[in-house]
A and B are shown apart, each in its own frame.
Chain A
Amino acid sequence: MRTGTEVDSPDEFLTGASECDSSFRIAGVSVGVRGGRDADIAMVAPLTLFRSERVLPDIEIQVKWVDDLRPVGRTVFDSGATWRLYERGDRFHFDFSAPFYGEQPYRRLLVNGGFTKATIQLNASCAERSSYPGVALSYPLDELLVMHYLAYESAIELHASGIVHRDGIANLFVGHSGAGKSTTTRLWTEREDVEVLSDDRIIVRRDDQPFRAPSAALGISAPGSDAAQTPQLRLRDRWALPIGHSAQDDRKSSMRMYGTPWHGEAMYASPNSAPLARIFVLEHGHGNVITPLSPSQAVAELFARSFVPFHRHEYVDSALVFLEELANAVPVYRYAFEPDQRAVEKIRNFHD
């Protein structure tokens, strides 16, 4: 075993022990994970829903244990609590820390500039002094990795609840924490048999993405699977289409929304997707008032509720360009609503 500072050359990516492997796919982004033992590549419960068949991955990850993790590189960004980003040459590393573990990071994500090859280093010294098993793939590492990868694509991750009606109409309800995403999700699920792709994080991509063979949706609720053994997760996957579905018949929209593992309070997570019909920016209000937003208004409101790597202006520029495309492709409304069934009724009877 070595220290984290020794494992920092590009050649170190994807080398070392790799007896175990697994794969998952989020919003069409396939991730392959390799490690020396099963525990190293274990997934937290929501992520198991996104397990996929082994394909040539978009992102390759190697999990390793190191004796310790020492500071290295130039600080680029500090999230303020859970992680920090450092830069060394053309590569990044993210250090994940917690007061419980003391000074050293308990986990480090080393990644190349394109976010296609990564190494996760688990700090053995942290594991020794706690019962924490050292899960490599858990929040926020998995979300940061996918979010950065998507910064190179025509895509955006939004703070939103995605709800698909059985007639195929897919509405996206965007909002900050406390804006009413979970409430909206509850109101819809109480009233109708809808599929909720996520109650907190939705990824929107242009609908002409080339996808590899569909696989992520397979075995979502298979008896005996990890997902089936997680009763608090709510799986409704009947009307949204598995990843890989051809978009040719989805003429209502040129944008598609995807569920993610990063669910909210209502705990909905689905690996499926649906063509996006409308976007509503949620806010509390009197009555249920729908107000169309101009593209420029929509871009500003959506940007404020999106997850973008802010440490590089190129990423921010790319996000704004895509949001403009999104705002021109899909109608965006402000929705000031009251938390009762009339709010759902209003949407159901609404026509653009």
Chain B
Amino acid sequence: MNQESKQGDGKKLYEAPRLATISLRPEEAVLGHCKSPSGGGNSTFGSCQPVGICNSVGS
């Protein structure tokens, strides 16, 4: 059976499963870092501002 006849039957062509790699950033996803005014919105994981609390500027 050729491709056209398959499509004419209304059946979807078989598509082999593909492995897709997705980039995850756990430290960003769980809000496990501080936001700082100079850190691109998200400062380095675990490095809070000098007083040791999350900067409120980024709310």
Residues of chain A at the chain B interface (Cβ within 8 Å): 44-47, 77, 79-83, 96, 98-101, 106, 130, 132, 135, 138-140, 142-144, 147, 159, 176-178, 181-182, 199-200, 232, 261-265, 267, 269, 297, 300-301, 303-304, 306-308, 310
Contacts and interface: CB of A to CB of B under 8 A. Distances in A.
Contacts of A139: 31, 34-35, 54-56, 58-59
Contacts of B38: 265
B40 interface: yes
Given A101-B52, A263-B59, A301-B22, A140 B42 contact: no
Residue among A199, A265, A267 with most chain B CB within 10 A: A265
30 contacts: A44-B57, A44-B59, A46-B57, A77-B30, A80-B26, A80-B46, A82-B33, A98-B48, A98-B54, A99-B48, A100-B48, A100-B52, A101-B53, A135-B56, A139-B34, A139-B55, A142-B59, A159-B28, A176-B23, A200-B42, A262-B35, A263-B59, A264-B40, A264-B58, A265-B41, A304-B22, A304-B29, A307-B31, A308-B29, A310-B30
A35 B31 CA distance: 26
Most chain B beta-carbon neighbours within 10 Å: one of A83, A140, A144, A267: A140
Q: Tell me which of A77, A139, A232 has the highest count of chain B C-beta atoms within 10 A of its own C-beta.
A: A139
Contact of A80 (B24, B30, B48): B30
Nearest to B26: A80
Contacts of B53: 98, 100-101, 106, 132
Contact of B59 (A138, A178, A303): A138
Lowest 3 CB-CB distances: which A-B pairs, in order?
A100-B52, A264-B41, A79-B32
A297 B40 contact: no
Main secondary structure of the interface of B (DSSP, over half): loop
A229 B7 CA distance: 63
A199 B53 CA distance: 23
B51 interface: yes
Interface residues of B, number: 33
Contacts of B20: 297, 300
The dominant DSSP class at the A interface is loop
B12 interface: no
Nearest to B43: A177
Nearest to B42: A177
Contact of B46 (A81, A100, A264, A306): A81
A83 B46 CA distance: 11
A199 B27 contact: no
A82 B58 contact: no
Contact of A177 (B31, B41, B56, B58): B41
B56 A82 contact: no
A62 to B, nearest CB: 21
Contact of B30 (A79, A200, A269, A301): A79
Contacts of B35: 139, 262, 264
Contacts of B23: 176, 304
A47 B59 contact: yes
A31 to B, nearest CB: 13
A77 B30 CA distance: 10
Given A100-B53, A106-B53, A300-B22, A263 B58 contact: yes
A176 B55 CA distance: 20
B29 A306 contact: yes
Contact of B27 (A80, A101, A307): A80
